[in-house]
Amino acid sequence: MLSSEPQAVSERYPQILEAAGYAILITDARGRIAHVSASIERLLGCTPEAMIGQPFRQWIAPEQLEDAALFYTAQQKVAQRETSLEVPLLRTDGDRCWVEVTALLLPDGGFEAVLKDITARRHHEDLMRAGQHRYRALLRTIPDLMLVLKRDGTYVELDWGDRTVPLGSAEVGATIGELGFSAEVLDRITRGIERAIATGEVQHFLFEPQTVSGIGAFEGRVVAMGDDEVLLMIRDISDLRRAQADLAERFNQLELLHQIDSELADRLKLDYVLTMGLDSAARVAGANAGFIGLRDEEGTMRLALVTGDHVPKKVDDSLRRGKGIATRAIRERQAVRVSDVTQEPDYVATRARSLSQMAFPLISQDNLVGVLNLESNRHDAFTPERFEFIMLIAARLAVAIDNARLHRQVESQLEEMRQLYNRVSNLEQLKTDMIRIASHDMRNPITSLMGFVELLKADAAALPDSDRLLESIGFIETSARRVQKIAADILSLERIEETASQTHFFPIDLREMIHRAVTDHLPQTRLLQRHLRADLPDGPVWVEADPVQLGEALANLISNALKYTREEGNVVVRLWSEDANAFFEVEDDGYGIREEHQARLFQPFYRARTSDTASIEGTGLGLHLVKNIVERHNGVMRFKSVYGQGSTFGFALPLSSEVGG
């Protein structure tokens, strides 16, 4: 019978995780690795076989061991099953890689975990933190200008910093009105002097005068030094403002990168991934046009998506012929930035007004999947900072495209398997119907044939040469009975398969059933001149079973043993219970089965023929029928045979939980 859903498809889904750069790891209660996926080798440079049985902690950086142990202990105390932690792991080449460990804590103390490589992200964060430290250092620089002023605005002492503030007169004895400040700034300074002397509190103000290099940013502070003097400090914070703006842009980029990551990871439709990736890259870069080319199964690069006023045919032609800046990025596997395409010999015009261009190879798991191309109508559109940021987007886009393609392939294969399943189901039903029709239609002519055989036997006795005629009639009768047995076995097998889901089991005494089966076979035993003995326990042995089906299995095994044993041979039937199971076996000292035939014994219509057994009648369905019955009772077939010494067939069934014993 066919399963209700193909199992092969579900086994492909782990490939999606591995294609995205994840590794899967399972530990036992002692923290030793019980399973790890093949992708761990790309992460740590160590094969899965070398890691099995080893404690996971030996790959954690020593300085993080205590923190990691405390973290998981705390999670177990609060019964937090699913948790996440970022730790550095040791590679076999001596380097370190940072991973995000998303773990599901198991009741026995072990855990199942998914490991994601976050080394690049951590490196980027380290660079950002270093930049923050530099920017904070700017805040601690010495002020550019310090003035000691009288209350009326005359300054009696001054100190210029390392840089010149582009103001007016800086002579001692001059007034602040001669410094060249605007009326608005002078008003802020005057009011700051009065408030500082009156309140004793530091007064702050900002102003942005026009400087030689453009508009600058300055911070002023007024500190009272007595009842008639103040200290005026003016600091040039232009660099700080620019640094803050750069930092804000960096954080905005990180936030945008996170959003792009989430969008690409949540969707596995290729069309959506391409549209979202190209649109995001074009907006961030300030591009006027762009396209994505993908490599097909034959290795040819073809246009997949275009935005802006590119001419699709020109783009597709340039990709196929291997011409243009995008093709250079593909060939060299390096991102390319060109500020003036008119000076670039590799440039191929696929739109009207391009002045600058960037191209990024899309590489996932070291496989080239495509190319991202962006173009602008300005020379200065693609700055080095934007170029580097688009490289990060391109790396994520490549992985997302690879995942989407894998998802599409899995969906296609799933649909193919569904169609195949439906076709096979229809064929299975057709086969069943044909078997039933053929087996049923054979019964009437066989019955008629057997009737005529009996008439012929009666008439042949009165004819000359009756012995020869009776021998021929005997051959006809034997063949007819064999066909009759085949039809009966086929219908029995189909009946068992058809009613399997509707069978109602109930407790039966297997000992009593075996005793009846042995008794029923005593006439056959005497006819064949065999010796049949039963070795049964004194008390009942209860199992959950369908008595009709199980009785058929017992009769089949006993009958087989009698047929395949020589005259005066011995057949022993045994039953015992052990470890919540009942064990039944039929042992004979007959012909035995050659080893090369044993693997196919339970296949339908298969018979292990030898010169000794060629004359024994059989259909080859009996053992297949027994195996089906046993498995439907949640049992297991047992078998052993030595050619020339005999065979043992039997099965094990679970003991009934409803009846003691």
Q: What is the mean pLDDT of residues 650-654?
A: 95
Split at pLDDT 50, 70, 90, the class of 497 is low
Q: Quickly name the fold that domain 499-654 has.
A: Heat Shock Protein 90 (3.30.565)
Q: Specify the CATH number for 252-411; select among 3.30.70.100, 3.20.20.70, 3.30.465.10, 3.30.450.40.
A: 3.30.450.40
Sheet holding 229-236: strands in order across?
155-160, 145-150, 229-236, 218-224, 203-207
- Pairing outcome for strands 570-578 and 531-535: parallel
State percent of the chain over pLDDT 70.
81
Q: What is the mean pLDDT of residues 381-389?
A: 89
**Quick check: 464 pLDDT over 60?**
yes
Q: Residue 526 is encoded by which pair of tokens? A: 């005497």
Name beta bridge partners: 146: 159, 233
- CB neighbour burial string for 329-366, b if at least 16 within 10 angstroms, e if fewer: bbeeeebbbbbebeebebbbebbeebbbbbbbbbbbee
**pLDDT at 660 (0 to 100):** 52
**Quick check: 166 pLDDT over 50?**
no
Q: Are 539 and 576 in contact (CB under 8 A)?
A: no
10-117: in CATH 3.30.450.20: yes
Architecture of the CATH domain 139-242: 2-Layer Sandwich (3.30)
99 exposure class (CB count in 10 Å sphere: 0-12, 13-18, 19+): buried
The mean predicted confidence, pLDDT, of the chain is 81
Split at pLDDT 50, 70, 90, the class of 382 is very high
**Quick check: 10 pLDDT over 50?**
no
Q: What is the mean pLDDT of residues 647-659?
A: 89
Q: What is the mean pLDDT of residues 320-349?
A: 91
Note the pTM of the prediction, 2 decimals.
0.39
**Quick check: 420 pLDDT over 60?**
yes
| Same-fold call for 10-117 versus 139-242 | yes
**Quick check: 396 pLDDT over 80?**
yes
**pLDDT at 537 (0 to 100):** 94
Count the neighbouring beta carbons within 10 Å of the beta carbon of residue 180: 15
Question: What are the tens digits of pLDDT across the range 88-133?
Answer: 999 999 899 999 988 888 877 788 888 898 888 888 888 888 876 7
The domain ranges of the chain are 10-117, 139-242, 252-411, 499-654
State percent of the chain over pLDDT 90.
26
**Quick check: 154 pLDDT over 90?**
no
